[in-house]
Amino acid sequence: MTGYLPHLSIDIVLGQLLLGLINGSFYALLSLGLSIIFGLLNIINFVQGAFFMVGAFVAYFLLQSLGLSYWTALLLAPVVVGIFAILIEQTMLRRLYKLDHVYGWLLTFGLSLMLESGFRQIYGISGKRYSAPEALSGGIDLDFIFLPTYRVWVVCASAIICFCVWYAIEQTRLGSYLRASTENAVLVRAFGINVPVLLTITYGFGAALAGFAGVLAAPIFQVSPAMGSNVIVVLFAVVVIGGLGSIAGTIFTGLIVGIIEAFTKVLYPEGSQVVIFLLMAVVLALKPSGLFGDPRLGAV
């Protein structure tokens, strides 16, 4: 490992930092929906990765089959994924809210396998090509790296969405209603608020965030049935490290994990696949609730 250190020029450091921010923005956006669903609904939503994959395929279908624009797909795909998630919540997940976390995890794990298998049957195992929009083509020459314009857009879009979601949940009246409904639903109902509808919308919104990330990711990564399963374990590690239910902790950890992963690929490529899990083990050993989590929650 030390043999790599002398080759870490400033150009390499800056280049890996940018690449880490790009990957971290995906981790933050995807983990954000996962954290919202667990924090407000107490569901370990293992199907979140499949929602990510469905969002990418919906956008691919809208562009390739219907001839719609990227911007239209960016708006429609999250809505489609959100509605699909609401159907799942209404018909299956709602029955599990008062049960142990493991039941929700088993159900969503099964759903993720079913969705991936279904898309494999339809589209096969090879990835589908998906081009970035013309308006976001090209790039910026920063001397130390050529940065594609589309990747700049991904980082900016993810940052804006993450900030807006954090602000809505932590700083607005709607967010206070959401948090209160998970702690004392009877009291919230006394104020005339329909708690079941509020929770249903929350689940749909958390899934829509994954669909939005899928549309963003499609021009960078190939659209394939396995793209969700490839990322879901990392997302859970991000949420656990940041602290279960902590919105700000999840966003911060997602970005940090992307940067750590990028530098590990340069310093010690063999360890890039396991570094996040080593980090998770260290954090859980020192603070089981995560870096920003409520100590009362502990670990899952």
How crowded is the C-beta side of 83, counted as CA atoms within 13 Å?
Answer: 5
User: Within 10 A of 170 (CB to CB), how many other CB atoms are there?
Assistant: 12
DSSP helix/strand/coil, 140 = strand
DSSP string for residues in 101-139: HHHHHHHHHHHHHHHHHHHHHHH-SS-B--PPPGGG-SE
Q: What is the pLDDT of residues 251-277, one digit of tens each?
A: 899 999 888 888 888 787 777 778 888
pLDDT tier at 7 (50, 70, 90 boundaries)? low
**CA pair distance 144, 202, nearest whole angstrom:** 42
pLDDT at 113: 92
Q: How many helices (H) and strands (E) does the chain have?
A: 11, 2
State yes or no: pLDDT of 6 exceeds 50: no
The residues, ordered by sequence, that sit 6+ positions from 212 with a Cβ below 8 Å of its Cβ are: 29, 55, 74, 77, 78, 161
CA 116 to chain CA mean position, Å = 17
pLDDT at 205: 92
Highest mean pLDDT among 81-90, 93-102, 132-141, 143-152: 81-90
Query: What pTM, to 2 d.p., does this model score?
Result: 0.87
Where are the chain's structural domains? Answer: 2-286
List of E strands, 116-230: 139-141, 146-148
* DSSP secondary structure letter of residue 297: T
Which range (129-138, 225-234, 275-284) has the least confidence?
129-138
Q: Which of 198, 248, 203, 272 is nearest to 42 (CA)?
A: 203
**CA pair distance 51, 112, nearest whole angstrom:** 8
At 20, list the tokens: 């880490």
